[in-house]
Chains A and B, each alone.
Chain A
Amino acid sequence: MKLKQLLWASALLSVSFACSDSGDEKPLDKYETGILIMNEGNFGTNDGEVYHLNPNTEELLPNIFEAENSRPFAGLLEDMVLEADRMYLVANTGKVEIVNPADFKSLGAVAAELDQPRSLAVNGSKLFISDYGPYDANYATPDSYVAVVNGLDGGVVSKKIEVSNKPEDLFSYGNYIIVAGSEENKIEIIDATQEAVITILDLEASPKQFYAEDGILWIYTVAADEVKFYTLNLSTLALGTTYTAPVANATSKIAFDGDDEMYVLTSSGYPDYNDAVVNIDIEENSASVTELITGSGFYGIGFDDERDQIYVANSNGFQRNGTITVLSESGSVIRTFEVGRGPSGFLLY
């Protein structure tokens, strides 16, 4: 889940309302308001799906892809990207499904030539898709790439741009695609016209997510005992101030609340497997860290800016459907409800 969409969504809402005036009598806002809940699905079962929540009425619509398209999503849903008036559903099982965000009806797909796609960005009329590439004998991914597709409604992969191992989030700005190279701690900048990497920036931690605000791209990175927020000036493409917060065992899951506050999932791993939601508050050059709740099985996080609520997803071990816990900013539980298999992220309008 890419929380940069918080920003994009609000920017695009006006656009999509303006553009969707096609004489259709149907209410426009079936899925375009509220919260989309991404359920990754279980490995080997490909039962990833999207749920829709109306946070005002608490009405939950399950499996909206299957409900609107009369076929299952059939993939592990890695990311949902709302760009160019389209919702891109990225399945790490090797495809991207493209739907109309208003009604979730299928518009197209990128169905072949992908291995393990992770995220997507739109630049002009091109799609750029980060992909781990195939595993080798040691389950390493030495052939990671960013795939290029000409056409906003999908089609064939026209080029694979080699990047460092395990690219994750992508961010499109101007003529550039910025790539989070998670395994080798790199930021790679692709020229979208040339379809080639033109700049590589080395970081000291593993970049996971981007978040843009006021012409600055925040880069969330993870090291063993701390997290770092790099900043990248989007007009100069130069790194600026770095903020470090002493958060151990951070995962790639983060939600930004827009006020220099973030919520990060942590997991202690073997042998205790203690998970937690940690609040990071950046003031000037220092970061304060507060643990909000602890538990086990946390798998995704989101922030509802309108209601100041934190959404924490629990995978319940993938043995059954996951659950969502809604927290106040101080970490008290507001409510809990069940969603699909392996909930892993949120897209909030």
Chain B
Amino acid sequence: MILLLWVYSFVGFSPISQDTIPLTEVEVFAPALDRFAQGQKVISWTKKELEDFQGRSLGDILQEQSPIFVRQYGAGMIASPSFRGTSAGHTAVFWNGLPINSPSLGQSDLSILPVSAIDQVDLQFGNAGALLGNEAIGGSVNLGTETDFGKGFRAGISQQIGSFGLFNSNLSGGFSSNNFSSNTKIYREFARNNFPYKDLGQFGTPEVKEDHAQVEQVGIVQDLAWNLNPTNLLKASFWWNKTDRMVQPVMGSQTNDVQEDQALRVVIDYFHFGERSVWNLKTGFVHNELLFNQSENTTSQYFLAGDWDQGISDQWTLKFGARYTLTKGDLSTYQADDNRIELYQSTKFSASEQLSFALNLRQLVYEGNLAPFTPNLGMDWELWSKESQTLQLKASLGKGFKVPTLNDRFWNPGGNPDLLPEESISGEIGLTWNKQGNVNWSQGLTYYKMSVDNWIIWLPKGSFWTPENIKKVNNQGLEYQGKVNGNLKLWKWELITSYSFSQAITKEGIDKNDQSVEKQLPYTPQHQANAKFKVEREAFSAFLSTCYVGERSITADNPRLMPSYQLFNLGLGYDKLQLGKVYIPLGFQVNNLFNTDYQVLYLRAMPRRSYQFNLSILL
């Protein structure tokens, strides 16, 4: 059915393009992430801001534009996020409100979440076990697609050509009336990744070309929305993505591994709008197939959820919800099912315009086992305001949890069905100063402290590995986020900066002699910073961005440190080239401007300078 609608909406656009019904542009309703996220830090990228990252992956945005460290296993290879010194499995990832982390691995590979497929990215920092559920310990990544009513027809093609065999093609089309909206994206992203690098694993360290890192990714995204009547809305989204990768070997290895990842995600939302209330019934399906060489791992998840968001008064808002998840795993070494039910409740109290509180509660039950009960209390308080300036305080305290993954519990051999969920407690406090004027300022500083207990690690035991609830890790850090923008004659300019200091210290290790106790976790830089300076004048725009990643160790006891690195990217754009009714935005980008030789992870070669041309044709 979805496919049929898609064919209609895509193929059938030209005859109705002269629609005479006056259309009013309205964004289709989507529940806001921050509605009950008082006290929590959230940073967002809109569709427009994502344009600078066309043809790249979510991992690139997070690395270059946020305080998150992305562990990249090579060009286009697995990229896993680390929020605030936690591990990849401590990041929850959602797509249109549906959790999409692999249930067998308990994490997501950011490389196979292409920017082309999404319209909105929100990062939420710190524990959000109560608000969002499982795995939201270090933070969460919330991806969304957007639809609008009343926009008529749109269509576009964009093409990127770049160094190392980059060849990306995107096709998008959409139609929306006042009551119906359809949006389609089709993409193919290809990179040969035959970049040169100095092979440290070979006698004489010759300069060689990478010959086993080719990536091809194709996908379709379809969004539909119907205004059934003024009080009822139906939305559906569909995303199919398939990635074929040659797995880039670590230097010194001769592996020829190949990996195919396929994901199908479907979500259907029904909203009923009442008097100060929104009812949401949500159902979804996520199917993941991972084929590593010839070893196949398949999981399917079925979701059914409902919640009720009710404003009681101007001060009080309540939300009640429940979600049922059935996971069926058919992995290369085991088969397992998992049933989960979770109940959640949120309360918001707005004491005044300046002061509001949120209390979130959640209890998850998996296969009859209680996950830790997770409460979270948060506060937003506008401490001070004067003319064009405000000072806002955010504070929150809460818990998070991670249910052991299917592999943790059932992998054969080694899976440990007796594992306990990981449990975390965290608090944060942040101050943000905003000033509006000829030059607008926004400067924020956040301090957080967190402790993760029952941290699961896999250890070799005899001839195989098995996971245990062993470690305890304490994290704390400071995050600075700044933005300044203004106008200088005809030029618009903007500077975005961030810096993070992150300590993630092992407090309890494998045994009493563990040398990693009191040391920083592996691959967790203490210092990280980035900045982006952008200027625009009429149709012309340019940006220069940089990111710095500090030293990090490759093992928990820190005997070997990897050097820090700093990369620069440069972009130029011109978006007013027009032929009749057709817009032709042009872009040019240089990544790793100064040709820096670096590794994110030990002995994983990364590309040096590369060029990318973007050409789009928009109707």
Contact = CB atoms under 8 A, between A and B. Distances in A.
Interface of A: 42, 44-47, 62, 71-75, 91, 93-95, 97, 106, 108-109, 111-112, 114-115, 134-137, 139, 154, 267-270, 273, 275, 296-297, 315-321, 323, 338, 340-341
B513 A341 contact: no
Contact of B413 (A47, A115, A270): A270
A333 to B, nearest CB: 13
A253 to B, nearest CB: 12
A94 B252 CA distance: 7
A321 B250 contact: no
Interface size class of B (residues with CB under 8 A): 35 or more
B615 interface: no
Contact of B462 (A154, A267, A318, A340): A267
Interface string B539-560: 0000000000000001111011
Contact of B200 (A45, A72, A315): A72
Given A74-B252, A115-B254, A270-B413, A109 B200 contact: no
A268 B461 CA distance: 9
Nearest to B251: A74
Contact of A91 (B252, B293, B414, B462): B252
B459 A317 contact: yes
A323 B463 contact: no
B450 to A, nearest CB: 21
A137 B293 contact: yes
A71 B205 contact: yes
A74 B254 contact: no
A276 to B, nearest CB: 12
A93 B252 contact: yes
B437 interface: no
Contacts of B556: 319-320
B487 interface: no
A70 to B, nearest CB: 9
Contact of B515 (A93, A273, A321): A321
Contacts of B202: 109, 111
A297 B459 CA distance: 9
Contacts of B253: 46, 75, 93-94
B457 A108 contact: no
Chain B interface main SS type: loop
B252 A269 contact: no
B331 to A, nearest CB: 14
A316 B603 contact: no
Nearest to B73: A44
B232 interface: no
A314 to B, nearest CB: 9
A41 B400 CA distance: 34
B294 A75 contact: no
Most chain A Cβ neighbours within 10 Å, of B201, B459, B515 = B201
Given A45-B603, A75-B253, A321 B557 contact: yes
Contacts of A315: 460
B419 interface: no
B200 A316 contact: no
Contacts of A71: 200-201, 205
Contact of A95 (B252, B293, B557, B603): B252
B510 interface: yes
B293 to A, nearest CB: 7
B25 interface: no
Contacts of A296: 461
B254 A46 contact: no
A97 B200 CA distance: 13
Contacts of A62: 559
A44 B603 CA distance: 9
A208 B530 CA distance: 53
Contacts of A114: 254
B34 interface: no
B516 interface: yes
A296 B514 CA distance: 13
Contact of B254 (A45, A47, A93, A273): A93
Contact of B560 (A47, A108, A112, A137): A47
Nearest to A249: B462
B516 A270 contact: no
Contacts of A111: 202-203
B515 A338 contact: yes
A137 B414 CA distance: 20
B299 to A, nearest CB: 20
Contacts of B459: 317-319
Given A45-B603, A47-B554, A320-B515, A97 B203 contact: yes
B201 A75 contact: yes
Contacts of B295: 137, 139
Given A46-B250, A114-B254, A320 B460 contact: no
Nearest to B515: A320
Nearest to A75: B252
A41 B588 CA distance: 42
A341 B559 CA distance: 10
A138 to B, nearest CB: 8
B602 A47 contact: yes
Residue among B200, B413, B461 with max Cβ neighbours from chain A (10 Å): B461
Contact of A273 (B250, B255, B462): B462
